[in-house]
Amino acid sequence: MDNALNFYIDGRWSPPACASRLAVIDPATERPIGEISMGSEADVERAVAAARRAFPAFSTTPLDERLALLRRILDAYLERYDEFAEIVMREVGAPRELASRWQVGLGRWHLEELIRVLPSFPFREARGSTLVAREPIGVAALITPWNWPINQIVCKVAPALAAGCTMVLKPSEVAPLNAILFAEVLDSAGVPPGVFNLINGDGESVGAALSRHPDVDMVSITGSTRAGIEVARLAAPTVKRVHQELGGKSANILLPDVTIEAAVKAGVDACFGNSGQSCNAPTRMLVPAERYDESVEVARRAAEAHRVGPPDMPGTTLGPLVSQLQYERVQHMIRVGIDEGARLVTGGPERPADMPLGYYVRPTVFGQVTPDMTIAREEIFGPVLSMVAYRDEEEAIAIANDSPFGLAAYVQSADLERARRVALRLRAGSVHINGPAWDPGAPFGGYKRSGNGREYAEWGLEAYLEIKGIVGYGD
């Protein structure tokens, strides 16, 4: 990749201030697939200054120009779609079909949805004699994760552009190559110089410098709760807006009237998607006590039906975890579950015996999990399912809500009205009833320690806007 060692600042590729590099590792082979430069505070200063210079002109561009820009970005994105899929497969370890259809497909769908909603968005709204104006907030720092990298980049960059903001993107240094390719897409689509800037680096240097920078008006971060807290702490002295999409420990309530075979299998598959590396994964399966043993047996079969293997091998459903660090954390949490007395139904610590290389984890199911156990309360971020028994509907709701997180929740029931009643009582930003199709227009974000604010479609657009009330405008 020609631009891997450069940063995209003020409309051109330029070398970093310091000559520090980091290898990008293929998690399936544990071997480097490339190198990136690591940014410094000097690079942040250049990028923020470029974004600040570009803001006055870009913030006043007509809506139809910004809409035309998004359409050109979508066209350029589709032209390089297969390149994105190949890169994501190699740097994240996502199986080929998942990388193409979902990892890269989500970016396309975000762009299409924003193009749909932007023409009718109420940037100006009359309320009596008062005009409510929604205006771009300014320079946005965008900090994105490695697990769904291009998805999270697009769902921040696209609404920021649509709102009229300028920005500096710091993607995860674990999976940065797709971000470099996206910067090339934006350049080819004609994004004006300084409007979009890209710096690679880690959170301790580039992320921290962006978060505390006085000329950054907001920070949007998707990442761990720990990282979100640190960004908020650094941003506090400048009172900038902090938009957070953080961790989760989502409950999946199976009500007593479900067909156990289908409901449990669907829950296992959803938990293990992307090798369990999704913040909204349904990692706590809550099942009726009277059907618990049956449910556990179905979960065992469903887990063992998954095929762990190289992401480019046909039939692979679970690729490797993204890094050695993530592999070690998941192994530690599996051992904690065993030590605290949960029953290991299938899977367990250590990699599959026939896979000596790669950060592979055996798909794991725990039974006899109680709500106070670590594996029922902390985010694991791997293919690990905790199964919890409940006595009645009230207890199921109480267990689901008894969590420091509140990103997502899931309800399955043959009685739709009952599922709706339960869904309305769950303290989570997204609730899914009976495995619905993904909706790019639904707001995405969490309650409690899962963050604040919402992303996707008009909800994401609102995140980058300030509200001004002009009283007497209509008199």
Q: What are the tens digits of pLDDT across the range 70-88?
A: 999 999 999 999 999 999 9
Q: Which helix (H) or strand (E) holds 114?
A: helix 105-117
Predicted local distance difference test score (pLDDT) of residue 74: 98
394 classed as catalytic: no
Could you give the CA distance from residue 396 to residue 447 in angstroms, rounded to a whole number? 19
**pLDDT confidence tier of residue 19, bands split at 50, 70 and 90:** confident
pLDDT of residue 195 exceeding 90: yes
CB 153 within 8 A of CB 107: yes
**pLDDT confidence tier of residue 1, bands split at 50, 70 and 90:** confident
Q: Which of 245, 379, 455, 458 is catalytic?
A: 245
Could you give the CA distance from residue 459 to residue 456 in angstroms, rounded to a whole number? 6
Side-chain-side CA neighbours of residue 108 (13 Å):
17
Predicted local distance difference test score (pLDDT) of residue 350: 87
Could you give the CA distance from residue 311 to residue 23 in angstroms, rounded to a whole number? 20
165 classed as catalytic: no
Q: What is the mean pLDDT of residues 23-27?
A: 98
In this structure, the strands spanning 166-170 and 139-143 are: parallel
- Domains in the chain (CATH in brackets) are 7-246+450-470 (3.40.605.10), 251-440 (3.40.309.10)
CA 79 from centre of chain: 24
**pLDDT confidence tier of residue 353, bands split at 50, 70 and 90:** confident
Predicted local distance difference test score (pLDDT) of residue 145: 98
CB 271 within 8 A of CB 385: yes
Contacts for 34-37 with beta carbons within 8 Å, 24 or more apart?
A: 34/1, 34/4, 34/177, 35/4, 35/5, 36/4, 36/5, 36/173, 36/176, 36/177, 36/180, 36/200, 37/4, 37/5, 37/6, 37/7, 37/200
Q: What is the mean pLDDT of residues 119-137?
A: 97
pLDDT of residue 283 exceeding 90: yes
Q: Which of 86, 155, 279, 455 is catalytic?
A: 279
CB 303 within 8 A of CB 363: yes
List all residues 6 or more positions away from 374 whose beta carbon is below 8 Å from its beta carbon. Answer: 333, 336, 337, 340
Beta bridge pairs of residue 444: 455
Q: Which helix (H) or strand (E) holds 347?
A: none
Q: What is the pTM of this model?
A: 0.97
Q: What is the mean pLDDT of residues 36-48?
A: 98
Please name the amino acid found at residue 296: V
Q: What is the mean pLDDT of residues 169-194?
A: 98
List all residues 6 or more positions away from 470 whose beta carbon is below 8 Å from its beta carbon. Answer: 130, 131, 132, 133
